[in-house]
């Protein structure tokens, strides 16, 4: 199971809880590094995710199918709230979300497939990695300097925090963009991610016209994309240009179309 994902979710959540009391009213209104969202809106997003995890809303076919637009909608619904109300929702729902994720590590529920609309289908236990990714990415990339507006510091990220986030990203990579991304991979290519959270995987083309990319452990292709795992979280979510962080060895024409289109949500 992904108990490491649960530990990472708890760790990054605890660090976010340490940051919150240091943010003043003016800083909550600053633009975050997540386009269109203020600092308080990032917390509203995390609060909305936690609330929906513990109290799922009924299906609504009128809601946006695009996951990013869906997140925007949930944030917009909270824009009129006072800062304290947003923070209270986050503080109320997040511990309950973590409890649910802990329960999801136990069989037989752990391996049940769960559809996350707009993002794909995952074993239930991997949802802990989803939270680990969300909290880590928003905290480190969108809120804190140097990319975010908050001049506050935390200890350097550890591999125990980064690796579960990377695991979710690699699980989502074949699913989130569907045929658009699949079409960019004609030959296998390697992602060689170093530093905290280091891993090496090979992205393989789909084997049939309606198939998906597959991601396997290890290096099984001559063309390689080299990056740190920390930078991967930034550029694979299009927060930062991949060219600022990646070095390609082998045939650039194999890797470049994939890198130009990759956008993990």
CATH code, 67: 1.20.120.450
* pLDDT, tens digit (0-9, with 9 covering 90-100), for 136-175: 999 999 999 999 999 999 999 999 999 999 999 999 999 9
Determine which of 18-22, 64-68, 130-134, 257-261 has the lowest per-residue pLDDT on average: 64-68
Same domain as 243, residue 183: yes
* pLDDT, tens digit (0-9, with 9 covering 90-100), for 89-102: 999 999 999 999 99
Same domain as 151, residue 191: no
Are 50 and 42 in contact by the 8 Å Cβ rule? The answer is no
CATH code, 182: 3.30.1050.10
d(CA 164, CA 103): 18
Angle between helices 159-176 and 3-19 (to 10 degrees): 110
Query: How crowded is the C-beta side of 256, counted as CA atoms within 13 Å?
Result: 5
* DSSP string covering 125-137: GGHHHHHHHHHHH
Same domain as 47, residue 150: yes
* pLDDT, tens digit (0-9, with 9 covering 90-100), for 113-126: 999 888 899 999 99
Closest CA to 253 of 189, 197, 194: 189
Same domain as 41, residue 134: yes
In this predicted structure, what is the pLDDT of residue 210?
83
pLDDT-derived band at 2, boundaries 50, 70, 90: low
Same domain as 189, residue 109: no
Q: Is the previous residue joined to 260 through a cis bond, with omega within 30 degrees of 0?
A: no
pLDDT above 70 as % of the chain:
99
Mean pLDDT, to the nearest integer, of 232-246?
97
Domain boundary pick from 110, 128, 158? 158
Name the residue range of residue 248's domain.
177-261
Domain boundary pick from 103, 126, 158? 158
């Amino acid at each position: 199971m992904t108990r490491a994902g649960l530990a990472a979710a708890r760790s990054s959540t605890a660090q976010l809880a340490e940051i919150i009391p240091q943010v003043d009213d003016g800083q909550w209104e600053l633009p975050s590094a997540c386009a269109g969202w203020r600092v308080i809106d990032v917390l509203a997003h995390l609060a909305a995710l936690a609330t929906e995890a513990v109290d799922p809303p009924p299906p609504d076919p009128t809601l946006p199918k695009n996951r990013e637009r869906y997140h925007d909608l949930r944030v917009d619904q909270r824009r009129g709230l006072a800062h304290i109300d947003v923070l209270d929702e986050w503080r109320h729902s997040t511990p309950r979300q973590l409890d649910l994720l802990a329960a999801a590590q136990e069989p037989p529920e752990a391996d049940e497939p769960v559809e996350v609309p707009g993002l794909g289908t995952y074993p239930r236990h991997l949802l802990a990695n989803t939270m680990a990714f969300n909290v880590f990415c928003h905290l480190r990339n969108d809120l804190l300097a140097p990319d975010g507006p908050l001049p506050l510091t935390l200890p350097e990220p550890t591999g125990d925090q980064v690796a579960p986030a990377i695991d979710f990203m690699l699980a989502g990579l074949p699913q989130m963009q569907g045929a658009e991304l699949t079409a960019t991979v004609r030959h296998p290519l390697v992602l060689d991610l170093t530093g905290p959270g280091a891993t090496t995987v090979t992205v393989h083309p789909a084997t049939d016209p309606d198939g998906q990319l597959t991601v396997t452990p290890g290096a099984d292709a001559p063309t390689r994309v080299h990056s740190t795992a920390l930078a991967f979280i930034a550029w694979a979510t299009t927060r930062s240009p991949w060219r600022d962080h990646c070095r390609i060895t082998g045939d650039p024409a194999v890797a470049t179309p994939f890198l130009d289109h990759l956008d993990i949500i």
